[in-house]
Amino acid sequence: YRLRRRVEERIQQHREQAHENAYLGFLDPEDGDTPLAVRPDVCFSFPNEYPYNRLYDGGHTFHNHYYPQIGDFDSGEEERCAQFIDRLPPIDYWVRNLDRRPRHAFWLQTSTDRFYPDFVCRLRDERYLVVEYKGADRWSDDDSHEKRTLGELWAERSDGQCLFVMPKGPDHDTIRAEVG
């Protein structure tokens, strides 16, 4: 049984590597045949429903959130990032993106699952900004690297209509710099 288990594990490793290589090849910006095109009218909609998992019950009053109620934040750092976004003059409105709600949220496909960035913002100049807050302790891990690479490619393919930023911990100035 040990030999069988080792062979099965090795086969699974090869499958995962082949899957990742195919996925990365699909996204390769050097490949002119890559069919990845980004159009805001296809990427974003703000439906009437906002089925959050948990309601935010913190003490801060947000003024520019699209919906009257806000889904809860994963951490105090993420909440402070939302407060920063809420005060940025270029932001017309923003949404606390819903995790694991593909019909009601913005997501990007990674090599293994869906990536639901933390915030989707509509700018006054009609561009979109997507923000994935990442604590400094996780900013450099493989998962964050894949999400950052995917988000940056997604923004690059939008012809300037969409922006992506993943601040490293409380470095909110990267968000301000992205929106200009």
pLDDT of residue 27: 61
Give me the long-range contacts of 170-179 (CB less than 8 A, separation at least 24): 170/77, 170/80, 170/81, 170/136, 172/81, 172/84, 175/81, 175/84, 175/85, 175/88, 175/129, 175/131, 176/88, 178/129, 179/88, 179/90, 179/91, 179/123, 179/129
Give tens-digit pLDDT for 143-161.
Answer: 999 999 989 988 988 889 9
Give tens-digit pLDDT for 51-79.
Answer: 898 999 998 999 999 999 999 998 899 99
> DSSP letter string over 57-84?
--SPPPSSBSSSS-BPPSSHHHHHHHHH
Average pLDDT value for the chain: 86
In the chain, % of residues over pLDDT 90? 46
Q: How many residues are recorded in the chain?
A: 180
pTM, rounded to two decimals: 0.82
Beta bridge partners of 131: 119, 165
Q: Which tokens go with 55?
A: 């309601």
Residue 101's φ and ψ, nearest 5 degrees, are -130, 70
d(CA 77, CA 19): 34
Residue 36 has pLDDT above 70, yes or no: no
In the chain, % of residues over pLDDT 70? 84
